[in-house]
Amino acid sequence: MNSRKVAIIGIFGALAFLLTFIEFPIIPLLPFLKFDPSDCMVFVVTLIYGFLPGFFTLLIKNFLFIFRSGEGGLIGILMNILTGTTFIFILTTLKKLKINIWVTYILGCIMTGVVAFLLNFYVAIPIYTNLPTSQFVQNIGLSIQTFFYLVLLFNFIKFFANSVISHIIVKKTRIENFIKEKVQ
């Protein structure tokens, strides 16, 4: 990896971190699931350079987030790393297979939502609440099935919105030419 690419990964990781300050819940029943546009910077790097640079951008964003982490703390950071990695892996894999980019975004969002549900069900909620997930879900007045659909919906919205933003950034601006331009 050349120094220009490393610098761009660092810059986009820092920009992604700054975008974490714009966060809000989008499903009132699950206020701990918050949308922020930070992953769009990770997806831009992934679309231009591929999986590893995108992954390093994701790690930089989350490393910086450790210093400002609030409600979600380290569990939220772990969840973001795992779901982000899932999405960029699917994105790069399906892109290499030359599947339509919009189909790729949709499949990535759905598959990432399933992974997020499993991680929430078996890891995050039991650790964060110190309750079995079934009891936590029952305490907030939901069925497991409704909880699954809400987590799937949240992740679909989150990752699809970030995909659309990154797609617009890459395809409708000259950023790809600027990033890949050789320094003389």
Torsion sign over Cα 179, 156, 87, 56: positive
DSSP per-residue string spanning 64-114: HHHTT--SSHHHHHHHHHHHHHHHHHHHHHHHHTT--HHHHHHHHHHHHHH
So what's the architecture of 3-22+34-180 in CATH?
Orthogonal Bundle (1.10)
CA 138 vs CA 22, 34, 130: distances in Å:
30, 21, 14
Alpha-carbon gap, residue 73 to 139, rounded angstroms: 22
The reported pLDDT for the residue numbered 184 is: 38
CA–CA distance, 39 with 16 (Å, rounded to integer): 7
Helix/strand/coil (H/E/C) assignment for every residue in 123-177:
HHHHHHHCCCHHHHHHHCCCCHHHHHHHHHHHHHHHHHHHHHHHHHHHHHCCHHH
Single-letter residue type at 101: I
Strand partners, 25: 34
Q: Which residues of the chain fall short of a pLDDT of 50?
A: 182-184
Distance between CA atoms of residues 184 and 89, nearest Å: 33
pLDDT of residue 71: 57
pTM of the model: 0.90
Domain spans in the chain, listed from the N-terminal domain onward? 3-22+34-180
